[in-house]
């Protein structure tokens, strides 16, 4: 029996802690609940918002529709071969819970994605990534239900059109499907990714030599780095990295490097360089900035924070100021990674 609530505060359902309201809210614990929901005539034609952990959204308005909170649980190994193990997880499983499951069982590929907030079902939408690894590298397929027809569909890797923090679910199919579960292909023999960020330095601080390297060691290092840099949403409202790292032509990077010698850059192919948005924002003077309850984190300029009672509109206005400032100083556009609702 579905419990559809009305006039619900979404403050507990988003990590920014924004006190927006939903006209209706329902929690989905089983895939069959979605079909039951879609058969209710009162909800066929109203707007729908799918929420996982609420860790990648900025709510700028009340939502005059139905919020569908995905809670489908379960992690299961469904098959394996000589090289790979295939693990399926329900859309409501916490992402870090899944990563720890894989690390504990020796299934390699997700360890660099440790401690990313949110749920499994939301991860493919964003093609989440960290420390040189993206979800698409371990993605096999997902199952989803069409929001109008109730049709169940399996999406393979090519169907998802993954890009940098992008997928087909943020564009052509936005709002059209509810993801119920995701299947991942993990490696039995690990390939270690330690060159991105401070992983090697942190491993050295932990006393981990190359001979002792393991997926658990990398996971532990990533967890240590993230905890040192990123605020805990339970302590201060935030959605992690607010902006994408911009990718610019190498010629533009070379020009900027001539002006700003400390500018970091990571080549992507021969003609494109990715630069850290956090560095640009910090150099533009925003690190630690605060206006009322809206601010920029004091340790990581890539993170916008809610110090207490900020509205989504106030945080969005701050984000626009940061964007304009970076554009003026560097001639580089930075775009939000967070979904603006």
For 149-218, the three-class secondary structure string (H helix, E strand, C coil) is: CCCEEEEEHHHHCCECCECHHHCCCCCCEEEEEEEEEEECCCCCCCCCCCHHHHHHHCCCCHHHCCHHHH
Beta strands 21-28 and 63-70 are parallel
Contact 150, 35 (CB under 8 A): yes
pLDDT at 197 over 80: no
Nearest to 165 by CA among 244, 91, 94: 244
pLDDT band for position 152 (cuts 50, 70, 90)? very high
Contact 98, 78 (CB under 8 A): no
User: Tokens for 125?
Assistant: 């939408």
Helix (H, G, I), strand (E, B) or coil at 77: strand
- Using CB atoms within 10 Å of the CB of residue 167, give its burial: 0 to 12 exposed, 13 to 18 middle, 19+ buried: buried
For tokens 């390939």, the residue is: 191
For the ranges 83-97, 202-216, 289-303, the lowest mean pLDDT is seen at 202-216
pLDDT, tens digit, for every residue of 49-101? 999 999 999 999 999 999 999 999 999 999 999 999 999 999 999 999 999 99
pLDDT of residue 219: 97
| Residue 268, H or E segment | strand 266-268
Percent share of the chain, pLDDT over 90: 88
Residue 333 φ/ψ, nearest 5 degrees: -90, 130
pLDDT of residue 277: 97
| Catalytic machinery residues | 165, 241, 337
- Using CB atoms within 10 Å of the CB of residue 214, give its burial: 0 to 12 exposed, 13 to 18 middle, 19+ buried: middle
**DSSP bridge partners of 79:** 86
pLDDT band for position 325 (cuts 50, 70, 90)? very high
| Domains, in order of start, for the chain | 5-70 (3.30.43.10), 75-187 (3.30.465.10), 237-340 (3.90.78.10)
- Using CB atoms within 10 Å of the CB of residue 226, give its burial: 0 to 12 exposed, 13 to 18 middle, 19+ buried: buried
Contact 182, 123 (CB under 8 A): yes
pLDDT at 45 over 90: no
pLDDT at 270 over 90: no
pLDDT at 1 over 80: no
Taking all residues of the chain, what is their mean pLDDT, rounded to a whole number?
95
pLDDT of residue 287: 97
Q: For 11-31, what is the mean pLDDT?
A: 96
Q: For 294-298, what is the mean pLDDT?
A: 97
């Amino acid at each position: 029996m579905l419990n559809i609530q009305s006039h619900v505060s979404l403050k507990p359902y988003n990590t920014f802690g924004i006190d927006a309201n939903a006209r209706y809210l329902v929690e989905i614990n089983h895939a069959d609940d979605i079909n039951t929901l879609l058969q209710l005539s009162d909800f066929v034609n109203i707007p729908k918002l799918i929420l996982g952990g609420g860790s990648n959204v900025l709510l700028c308005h009340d939502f005059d529709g139905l919020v569908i909170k995905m809670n489908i649980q379960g992690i299961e190994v469904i098959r394996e071969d000589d090289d790979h193990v295939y693990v399926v997880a329900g859309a409501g499983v916490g992402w870090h819970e899944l990563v720890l499951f894989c690390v504990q069982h020796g299934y390699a590929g997700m360890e660099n994605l440790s401690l990313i907030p949110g749920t499994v079902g939301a991860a493919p939408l964003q093609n989440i990534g960290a420390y040189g690894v993206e979800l698409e590298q371990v993605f096999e397929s997902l199952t989803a239900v069409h929001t109008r027809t109730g049709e169940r569909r399996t999406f393979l890797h090519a169907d998802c059109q993954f890009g940098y923090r992008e997928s087909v679910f943020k564009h052509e199919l936005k709002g059209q499907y509810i993801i119920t579960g995701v299947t991942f292909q993990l490696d039995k023999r690990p390939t270690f990714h330690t060159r991105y960020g401070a992983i090697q330095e942190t491993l050295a601080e932990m006393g981990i030599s190359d001979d002792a390297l393991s997926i658990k060691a990398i996971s532990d290092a990533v967890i240590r780095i993230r905890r040192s840099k990123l605020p805990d949403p339970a302590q201060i409202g935030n959605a992690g990295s607010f902006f994408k790292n911009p990718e610019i032509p190498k010629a533009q990077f070379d020009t900027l490097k001539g002006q700003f010698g400390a500018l970091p850059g990571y080549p992507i192919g021969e003609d494109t360089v990715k630069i850290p948005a956090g560095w640009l924002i910090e150099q533009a003077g925003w690190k630690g900035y605060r206006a009322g309850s809206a601010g920029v984190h004091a340790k990581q300029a890539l993170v916008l924070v809610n110090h207490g009672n900020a509205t989504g509109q106030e945080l969005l206005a701050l984000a626009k100021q940061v964007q304009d400032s970076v554009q003026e100083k560097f001639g580089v556009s930075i775009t939000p990674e967070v979904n603006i609702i």
